[in-house]
Amino acid sequence: MTDKQLRQLPEVGNQIYSACGGQMTFEPDTPRAFFREEWVFFCSPSCKDDFDRDPAISCLRPHTIDRNEI
Ligand SMILES: [Zn+2]
């Protein structure tokens, strides 16, 4: 419950990578989730919906796999 775990968001206009591996510009309304102690960004709201339902089937899947498994 401390602030140190909260990663700061990028500045608006910065280039970021979405969970799907695409590059995009960070906007205040960029779909995002806080996952494993870091921000994860989504290319579209529907990607985030998929993630909310099940991270394993969303576009985040490559991201989750490369963290814990090879
Ligand atoms: Zn996506």
- Residue indicated by tokens 């419950």: 1
pLDDT tens per residue across span 13-69 = 999 988 877 899 999 999 999 888 889 899 899 989 988 888 777 666 665 555 544
Number of structural domains in the chain = 1
Q: How far is the CA of 1 from the centre of ligand 1 (A)?
A: 30
Q: Would you say residue 1 lies in a domain? A: no
Residues within 5 Å of ion ligand 1, judged at the Cβ atom? 20, 43, 47, 59
pLDDT at 69: 46
Dist. CA 47 → ligand 1 center (Å): 5
Residue 55 CA, ligand 1 centroid: distance in Å:
11
Q: How far is the CA of 54 from the centre of ligand 1 (A)?
A: 13
Name the one residue in this structure whose structure tokens are 């709201």. 45
Distance CA 24, CA 43 (A): 8
Whether 5 is in a domain gets the answer no
Domain span at residue 25?
Answer: 13-68
- Rounded distance between C-alpha atoms, residue 2 and residue 21, angstroms: 30
Query: Global pTM?
Result: 0.73
Q: Which two tokens stand for residue 5?
A: 């775990």
Phi/psi for 61 (5° steps) reads -50, -50
CA angle 30, 20, 42 (to 5 degrees): 15
